[in-house]
């Protein structure tokens, strides 16, 4: 039931209309019943087998063979999608051209076949579908066999060049995914050996400075690998320039965005993170432009819409938090929650977890500690560490801070022991985390007083100030402004007041 429900509810208006036209052409009573089944599933707000049976029986639909009917409906929906004119993607168009070429060749219609072959070559070259070129060259040889040494040499050169492009594309694709793995791994483990592996990747001949690649796809991958390296090594100016060059190239290369729209979203998100720190006017302009991106894509539109929502509001909330503007962020909480619900099927669990964490952060900033704790508890209970292993331990730490603020000292003392063990087990027990945990532990060993709180949070504050001087500060400082929190404890000012006075790195 769920699979068919998801398929029907993934269809847009044109695809639903196409299905109905497709099934009506058979004009039989048997096929019309599938239209009834389709309409009833389409009207369901959520998968509900019993409700569906009840509704169908009210329409005198024989539900005895409902399981078989659903399987058949699933097949004919997929079949109808192949017949809907959806401005096919270039890859699909080329597959259809190859099928047409095969048919014309088998029929001996060489003149027509050559025209379609030329059209296929133009399509493959324009959109850099390089893996098709060797097959198209084989068809060219069938339609027009080389008759002399000059033609044979031209054919060989074309084959060699196409294989060179395929090799370059595949090599850079492989290096890109290896770099992506190292970037994600390093953010979790901070193992310097992984940085050494990254340096080895950059020594690859395909990534040499000034190299001219044979395809735009290869040039894009080159930029992407360098961006991952700059992000990992905290080389922000280099990352910024590479992102500008990459996005400019992507905007001139529609075929890449058609095939890899998620990568455009990711790179724009990375650029927004940098822009909001250095040029707020450029940031807002880029954000407004980015909000229109779902209208420009043909592929994975629901997922793209969800990701743009995620990036747009995620970026804005982080900006408001960074500026201490918790009032603006607070006004958007209901909108964000509605967006999470509307995009729930397309938003990753990691994204949903992150939003609940950010909502908790907003409530904390407005000194609504109980509400902050409610959202953190929801994040911890409804999601797991697998959803975002980099953030999850720090949600637990944030939860302990909220309990500390609510004076649940006995609970804090118990949870601190558990969290220390978890950090140790997961190899997360780094210097900064240890200092924060130690501060909280010493504060709750006995009933906290103003004097002990001041003493231990002063030590923590001074330690964090030193860490902030580091060129590559501890990653946990990106998740929560512990520096502002520590200062609020030693000045008796609110977190929001301190945040507005001193904007620290978030």
**Burial status of residue 332 (CB atoms within 10 A of its CB: 0-12, 13-18, 19 or more):** middle
For the cut 90, the answer to whether the pLDDT of residue 370 exceeds it is: yes
For residues 391 and 187, the answer to whether their CB atoms sit within 8 Å is no
For the cut 80, the answer to whether the pLDDT of residue 135 exceeds it is: yes
Q: Average the pLDDT over 373-390 and give the result.
A: 93
Taking only the tens place, the pLDDT of each residue in 237-272 is 999 999 999 998 888 887 777 777 888 888 999 999
Residues 6 or more apart whose CB falls under 8 angstroms from that of 239 comprise: 227, 230, 231, 270, 274
CATH number of 348-506: 1.25.40
For the cut 50, the answer to whether the pLDDT of residue 506 exceeds it is: no
Plot region of 243 (φ>0 → left; ψ -120 to 50 → alpha; else → beta)? alpha
Judged by average pLDDT, the poorest of 117-126, 167-176, 181-190 is 181-190
Taking only the tens place, the pLDDT of each residue in 318-341 is 889 988 999 999 999 999 999 999
Structural domain spans, the chain? 2-83, 348-506
For the cut 50, the answer to whether the pLDDT of residue 181 exceeds it is: yes
- Strand, coil or helix: 190: coil
Nearest to 255 by CA among 89, 118, 87: 89
Q: What share of the chain is helix, strand, coil (3-state, %, to 5)?
A: 80, 0, 20
Q: From CA 222, how far away is CA 216, in angstroms rounded?
A: 10
Q: Average the pLDDT over 58-82 and give the result.
A: 84
Confidence grade of residue 107 (pLDDT, cut at 50, 70, 90): confident
pTM summary value: 0.66
Q: What is the mean pLDDT of the chain?
A: 86
> For a pLDDT cut of 70, what percent of the chain falls above it?
92
H helix runs in 406-480, sequence order: 409-425, 431-444, 450-468
Q: Given this model, what pLDDT does residue 41 score? A: 86
Q: Average the pLDDT over 363-367 and give the result.
A: 96
Q: Given this model, what pLDDT does residue 35 score? A: 85
For the cut 70, the answer to whether the pLDDT of residue 226 exceeds it is: yes
Confidence grade of residue 215 (pLDDT, cut at 50, 70, 90): confident
Q: Given this model, what pLDDT does residue 337 score? A: 96
Longest dimension (CA), the chain: 96
For the cut 90, the answer to whether the pLDDT of residue 43 exceeds it is: no
Q: Given this model, what pLDDT does residue 70 score? A: 87
Most confidently predicted of 6-15, 32-41, 116-125, 256-265: 116-125
| CA 21, chain centre distance (Å) | 36
For the cut 60, the answer to whether the pLDDT of residue 474 exceeds it is: no
Q: Given this model, what pLDDT does residue 87 score? A: 46
């Amino acid at each position: 039931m769920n699979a068919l429900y998801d398929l029907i509810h993934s269809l847009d208006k044109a695809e639903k209309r196409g299905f109905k036209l497709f099934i009506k052409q058979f004009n039989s009573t048997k096929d019309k019943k599938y239209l009834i089944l389709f309409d009833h599933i389409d009207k369901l707000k959520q998968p509900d087998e019993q409700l569906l049976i009840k509704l169908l029986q009210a329409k005198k639909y024989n539900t005895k063979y409902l399981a078989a009917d659903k399987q058949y409906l699933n097949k004919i929906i997929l079949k109808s999608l192949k017949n809907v004119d959806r401005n096919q993607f270039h890859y699909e168009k080329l597959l259809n051209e190859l099928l047409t070429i095969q048919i014309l060749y088998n029929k001996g219609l060489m003149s027509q076949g050559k025209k379609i072959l030329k059209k296929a070559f133009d399509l493959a070259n324009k959109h850099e579908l390089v893996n098709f070129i060797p097959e198209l060259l084989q068809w060219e040889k069938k339609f027009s066999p080389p008759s002399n040494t000059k033609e044979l040499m031209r054919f060989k050169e074309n084959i060699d060049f196409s294989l060179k492009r395929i090799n370059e594309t595949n090599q850079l694709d492989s290096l890109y995914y290896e770099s992506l793995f190292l970037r994600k791994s390093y953010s979790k483990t901070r193992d310097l050996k992984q940085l050494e592996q990254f340096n080895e990747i950059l020594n690859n001949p395909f990534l040499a400075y000034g190299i001219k690649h044979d395809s735009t796809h290869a040039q894009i991958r080159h930029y992407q690998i360098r961006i991952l390296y700059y992000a990992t090594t905290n080389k922000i100016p280099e990352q910024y320039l590479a992102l500008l060059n990459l996005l400019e190239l992507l905007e001139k290369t529609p075929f890449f965005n058609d095939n890899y729209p998620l990568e455009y979203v990711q790179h724009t998100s990375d650029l927004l993170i940098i822009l909001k720190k250095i040029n707020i006017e450029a940031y807002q302009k880029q954000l407004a432009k980015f909000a229109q991106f779902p209208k420009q894509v043909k592929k994975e539109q629901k997922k793209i819409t969800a990701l743009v929502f995620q990036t747009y509001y995620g970026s804005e909330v982080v900006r408001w938090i960074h500026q201490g503007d918790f009032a603006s962020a607070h006004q958007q909480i209901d909108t964000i929650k509605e967006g999470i619900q509307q995009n729930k099927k397309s938003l990753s669990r990691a994204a949903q977890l992150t939003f609940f964490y950010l909502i908790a952060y907003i409530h904390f900033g407005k000194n609504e500690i109980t509400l902050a704790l409610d959202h953190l508890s929801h994040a911890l209970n409804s999601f797991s560490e697998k959803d975002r292993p980099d953030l999850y331990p720090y949600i637990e730490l944030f939860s302990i801070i909220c309990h500390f603020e609510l004076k649940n000292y006995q609970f804090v003392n118990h949870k601190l022991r558990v969290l220390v063990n978890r950090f140790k087990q997961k190899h997360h027990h780094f210097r900064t985390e240890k200092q924060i945990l130690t501060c909280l532990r010493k504060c709750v060993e006995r009933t906290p007083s103003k004097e002990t709180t001041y003493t231990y949070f002063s030590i923590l504050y001074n330690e964090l100030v030193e860490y902030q001087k580091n060129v590559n500060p501890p990653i946990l400082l990106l998740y929560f402004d512990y520096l502002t929190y520590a200062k609020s404890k030693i000045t008796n000012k609110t977190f929001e007041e301190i945040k507005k006075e001193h904007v620290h790195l978030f």
